């Protein structure tokens, strides 16, 4: 982390990117192939990080870390279709020392098409072994947590 500290942006906790649906994303059912939504979710997490100065290159080379999906729950509520312009959101639900839980959604206009909770584990870029977040990143992510009503269920927490 350099001294010009890339992470604050405290007001913009709710983050989203636009995503257009192309032929590549659809299947013969005429809708978006279900696995493709996971790629959209990852694009949003990646851009969420980039908006905080944490592009993949910075993460790998300055911090020796990559994130790997450890678990997900997904609810597919409505299908997206060719040419749709979607909004993919990402926010930190909970940050621990060795993992981050994101709450995400995919929306079209005022309709929610998909909701997801995605837990990513922190790995060392060089070895792909679990490691802890550097303290500066941990503290920065903690300030970005956007707890929900379920917050109280999760106390007390243990890390990992």
d(C-alpha 38, C-alpha 57), whole Å: 22
> Minimal distance in Å, beta carbon 10 to a copy of itself?
25
Compare residues 143 and 154 and give the one whose CB is closer to a copy of itself.
154
Q: Which of 43, 45, 23, 25 is nearest to 34 (CA)?
A: 25
Instruction: Give the single-character DSSP code of 133.
Output: P
d(C-alpha 20, C-alpha 117), whole Å: 22
Q: Which of 74, 84, 75, 104 is nearest to 32 (CA)?
A: 84
Is position 83 annotated as part of the catalytic site? no
E strand or H helix at 114: strand 111-124
d(C-alpha 74, C-alpha 115), whole Å: 6
- Token digits of residue 74: 């997904």
Compare residues 45 and 94 and give the one whose CB is closer to a copy of itself.
45
Distances (CA, A) of 6 to 38, 59, 141, 145: 27, 12, 11, 16
> Minimal distance in Å, beta carbon 58 to a copy of itself?
10
> Minimal distance in Å, beta carbon 78 to a copy of itself?
11
Write out the residues near a copy of itself by the rule CB under 8 A: 20, 22-24, 26-31, 33-36, 38-39, 42-43, 46, 55-57, 66, 68-76, 79, 81-83, 128
Which residue of the set 11, 25, 27, 110 is catalytic? Answer: 27
Compare residues 7 and 26 and give the one whose CB is closer to a copy of itself.
26
Compare residues 42 and 142 and give the one whose CB is closer to a copy of itself.
42
> Minimal distance in Å, beta carbon 143 to a copy of itself?
25
Q: Which residues belong to the active site?
A: 27
């Amino acid at each position: 982390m350099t001294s010009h500290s890339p992470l604050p942006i405290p007001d913009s906790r709710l983050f989203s990117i636009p995503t257009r649906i192309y032929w590549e994303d659809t299947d013969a059912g005429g809708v978006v192939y279900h696995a493709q939504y996971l790629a959209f979710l990852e694009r949003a997490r990646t851009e969420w990080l980039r908006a905080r100065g944490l592009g993949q290159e910075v993460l790998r080379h300055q911090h020796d870390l990559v994130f790997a999906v450890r678990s997900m729950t997904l609810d597919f509520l409505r299908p997206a279709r060719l040419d749709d312009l979607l909004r993919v959101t990402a926010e930190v639900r909970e940050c621990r020392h060795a993992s981050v839980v994101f709450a995400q959604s995919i929306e079209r206009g005022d309709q929610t098409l998909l909701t997801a909770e995605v837990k990513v584990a922190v790995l060392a870029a060089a070895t792909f072994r679990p490691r802890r977040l550097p303290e500066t990143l941990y503290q920065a992510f903690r300030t970005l947590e956007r707890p929900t009503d379920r917050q109280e269920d999760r106390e007390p927490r243990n890390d990992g």
